[in-house]
Structure 1
Amino acid sequence: MKLMRKGLLITGAVIIILGVVIFFIGIYLSSGITSGIASLVTGIHNETMISPGSSIVVNTNETGAAVTVVYNDTLGKPLQVITSGPGQLEVESVEGQYVVIYVPEASPSTLSLVNNYSENAMVYYTYGAININTLMPLALSTIISIGLIIVGIILLILGAVLKSK
Structure 2
Amino acid sequence: MTKTVGLLAKSASPPISPSIAEQMKVLPRLAAEYSDMDLMQDAERILIPGKVAAALATLIKAAVQDENRNRDGVASMLTDDANRSHYAVSRWIQANNFFVKWAHIHVKLDVHESVPTDIEIANHIEIFEELMDGVATAFFDRRRTVQNLLADINATDEVDDA
- TM interval, short-chain normalised: 0.3 to 0.5
Q: Which has the higher contact order (CA 8 A, sep 6+)?
A: 1
| TM-score for the superposition, normalised by structure 2 | 0.33
| TM-score for the superposition, normalised by structure 1 | 0.33
Q: Which protein is richer in helix relative to its size? A: 2
